Structure 1
Amino acid sequence: MTTTSSVALSASTAVPSGFAVYDNSFYNILGSTPKLDVILENNDFPFAHEASVYVPTTDQLFVSSNIFTDPVTNESTIKISKVNVTAHPVTAEIVNSTVSMPNGGVNHNGGILWTGQGTLNTTGGLWQMSAQSPNKAEFIVGGFYGRQFNSLNDVVVASDGSFWFTDPIYAWKQGVRPKPKLPEQVYRYDPATKAVRVVADGFGRPNGISISPDEKTVYISDTAETIGDGSTDLLKAATIYAFDLSTINGQPFLTNRRVFAFPSDGIPDGLKVDQHGNVYAGCGDGVNVWSSGGVLLGKILVKDGTSNFSFGKNGQMYILNENKIYRAQLNSTLKSTLWKN
């Protein structure tokens, strides 16, 4: 449960619109003056869909679009945008990147580690992209010992330097990848040895992934409710699972799989944790927040929901909403656990 040093709202104080409180400890997350505003809107294409990687050294936010038809090439594409969140007004520019159909991303080595879904003719995989113009990207890995990945979705970096990522079949369902050659699994890649391992399976659609601050727990969302072809099945998983990160025979394993949380609205897509271990997920009604014990604390309400988001400086959060980016002001002491990478 959250404990912070700054003054927060109390249960007797009216909560501003845009926030919903389900447990009193959520007031500590909100801080004394919570606020939610749209800071950027672009209705030309769904530019703000995934990743939401905030780079603190440059005060820039990198986001990937939803898949759309490029009006010039008439082909399905995904674009990366670089957002200057300190500009007045906030501005964005498209990054001409070589990442193949980028999706999720995470801070790494001062830049961004991207997952790329791939196309019918190019493999998906992991890319390291510089945060500095011209934002050069280097390909890292694209398959499991000769078998191409399906369509990588999201990634996180552990303190030992390893990359943990999810690989659902969404791009195949959308018609932009060949028939899958691997089950829908979660992987660990060691950049030092270039060894890649399957660390979890049994998912309908493995999606978001995050690691607790003490690195004892790994959270992975299964978004099988959203099939990927435009249809949904409410009887399929829309669930966050927690795993113990155990060391067995000198190697990391995910053990003790258990249900961590099930949101009331939509699927839990992108996952993040704060320094206190609280778990945040992009859901159908906005950002849902649970304690490390799985108690729903509250929600940051966004119409039509969000796929992903990221922490900025001083308790700010950037929330993606397809054609809009919201900025939430929360407790100024809240911090991202991702910037150390």
Structure 2
Amino acid sequence: MMLTRHNLSTHALHFLTFSVSAIAQLAAPCPGLPTASTVCINRHASVMPYPFFRFHPSDGSLSPEDSFPRTNTTDPTFALVRNATFLVFDHARAADILGPDPILEHLFDLPPGFVHEAPVYVPSINSVIFSALAQDVVPQLIINLDGPRPTIANYTPEPPVYGVNGGRYHDGKIYWAVSAGVPFPHPEDGSTVLQTPGIVELDPTTNATRTLLNNYYGAQFNSPDDVVVASNGDIFFTDPWYGWSGNLTAAPVLPAATWRFRPATGQAQIVESSLVQPNGIALSPDEKTIYITDTGLTEFDMPEHVLPRFSLNSTGPRYLYAFDLDLEGKGGRVLTEKRVVFLAAEFGTDGVHVAADGSIVGAIRERVDVLSPEGELILQIRSTFVVNNVQFVGPDLDELWLFGYGGVSRVKWNLKGRLEGRASS
């Protein structure tokens, strides 16, 4: 029929009323999961009632207000989101992952202002070794899991290593991505230790380190950020510019890129160069897929005296990519079929791990995202501090530990990790 101005307005009013009523329940308690800590998000909150507003800083800074739970909306159920620990977007899959009684437990307060990175669980000593990544801070830290409660202490291998940013366990050893490249004093005897950015191997049973890679035909790497080791011993690592931005090393001389290093031959080769600032890296259980995060929303435009030397552009890359991986491939045939699988809703994905079932677990500012292998958001863990990296911990690898600015926490749930460097069918 032909609509007059009167019946058009009436039609629009009915449509608006229907739309608002259809989306009034953005959040609700999750059936079968603890109501005090777990909230289900209806249809990924794909339609919010007008008006709604999420704050985005215009000065290139980070703000805790720039997040999904702090979105200002008229829906009263959204208060549940702001106070929840676990946000569920796919109830069926999240229920299997969380189990009937998931818990986020805060374990340690750590000095503020430090990025805590490179957590590695070492089964042979039932401990987690991780890094305090900050200017002029040399020792790492170790958490001993023997006893009724975990205990924490400083940890210094020999020779000591400064500026560890990423780490993985493989065949009894730890492999570190080391971002610092300046001389530093030995924390015990004060002697000068010389170091450039690269890949370092640590034997956790003897505490001995040895440098495996520290240059590309004489050129210094920028600041290796994260690392993963395949079952054949190949080491894949990202090399962005963040070490320079934190005054840990000299200004970059190489493009930001992802590399494959083969310890058997000593050859380092770029295998991916299209990401703006490659960051976290992880392998699927069958080693047929490699995931790499891009935090290219960081723009290195700050004055020399400002640390870190970057601002944020929310329209810049903050993607998680998947690539087909061919460990037998050469040159440009190692990583193929690049595709975006996820856009981080806040900042960008930092450290990333893959669970035994193929779920992707990524640290993103004050939260941890759990995704399907295809990048579908299943659930979020909301933290009280900025999370830089995660690690599956324990004899059964059934705890997820969160590491970041000012703290360490752990999640007890049903999702299990795996010993990396062992391909599964």
Distance 2:390 2:232 in 1: 24
From 106, 119, 128, the counterpart of 2:181: 119
Kindly tell me: are residues 322 and 79 of structure 1, through their superposed partners in 2, closer, same or farther at Cα, counting changes over 3 Å?
A: farther
Q: Secondary structure, in 3 states, of the residue corresponding to 1:29? A: helix
From 386, 394, 398, the counterpart of 1:305: 386
Distance 1:296 1:312 in 2: 23
Share of identical aligned residues, percent? 30
For the 8 Å contact 2:133–2:163, the answer to whether it is kept is no
From 123, 139, 144, the counterpart of 2:211: 139
Say how many residue pairs are matched.
Answer: 323
For the 8 Å contact 2:385–2:405, the answer to whether it is kept is no
- Partner letter of residue 316 of structure 1? E
From 318, 334, 339, the counterpart of 2:416: 334
After TM superposition, give the deviation of residue 339 of structure 1 in Å. 6.7
Q: Does 1:265 align with 2:346?
A: yes
Equivalence for 1:6 = none
- Residue deviations 1:124-153 (CA, integer Å, cap 9, x gap): 1111112125x1111111111221111110
Equivalence for 1:155 = 227
Equivalence for 2:126 = 59
Distance 2:387 2:35 in 1: 21
- Partner letter of residue 83 of structure 1? I
Equivalence for 2:313 = 233
Q: Does 1:38 align with 2:106?
A: yes
Distance 2:314 2:138 in 1: 27
Q: Secondary structure, in 3 states, of the residue corresponding to 1:65? A: strand
Distance 1:141 1:250 in 2: 20
- Partner letter of residue 256 of structure 1? E
Q: Secondary structure, in 3 states, of the residue corresponding to 2:244? A: helix
Q: How does 1:1-341 map to 2 (within 5 A)?
A: 11-17=31-37, 18-24=85-91, 25-43=93-111, 46=114, 49-68=116-135, 76-97=136-157, 98-121=160-183, 122-133=195-206, 135-227=207-299, 228-246=308-326, 253-313=334-394, 314=396, 315-331=398-414, 334-338=416-420, 340=422
- Residue deviations 1:27-49 (CA, integer Å, cap 9, x gap): 11112221111112233763x61
Distance 1:67 1:43 in 2: 11
Unaligned runs of 5+ in 2: 1-28, 38-84, 184-194, 300-307
Kindly tell me: are residues 80 and 248 of structure 1, through their superposed partners in 2, closer, same or farther at Cα, counting changes over 3 Å?
A: closer
Distance 1:304 1:125 in 2: 29
- Partner letter of residue 262 of structure 1? L
Kindly tell me: are residues 238 and 194 of structure 1, through their superposed partners in 2, closer, same or farther at Cα, counting changes over 3 Å?
A: same
Kindly tell me: are residues 15 and 260 of structure 1, through their superposed partners in 2, closer, same or farther at Cα, counting changes over 3 Å?
A: farther
156-165 vs 306-315, greater mean Cα deviation: 306-315
Could you state the TM-score of these two structures normalised by the residue count of structure 1?
A: 0.88
Instruction: Return the structure number with greater helix share.
Output: 2
Q: Secondary structure, in 3 states, of the residue corresponding to 1:33? A: coil
Kindly tell me: are residues 15 and 141 of structure 1, through their superposed partners in 2, closer, same or farther at Cα, counting changes over 3 Å?
A: farther
RMSD, aligned α-carbons: 2.2
After TM superposition, give the deviation of residue 248 of structure 1 in Å. 7.2
Could you state the TM-score of these two structures normalised by the residue count of structure 2?
A: 0.71
For the 8 Å contact 2:346–2:365, the answer to whether it is kept is yes
Equivalence for 2:26 = none
Q: Secondary structure, in 3 states, of the residue corresponding to 2:133? A: coil
After TM superposition, give the deviation of residue 234 of structure 1 in Å. 1.1
For the 8 Å contact 1:65–1:322, the answer to whether it is kept is no
After TM superposition, give the deviation of residue 87 of structure 1 in Å. 3.6
Q: Which has the larger radius of gyration?
A: 2
Distance 2:356 2:36 in 1: 24
Q: Secondary structure, in 3 states, of the residue corresponding to 2:297? A: coil
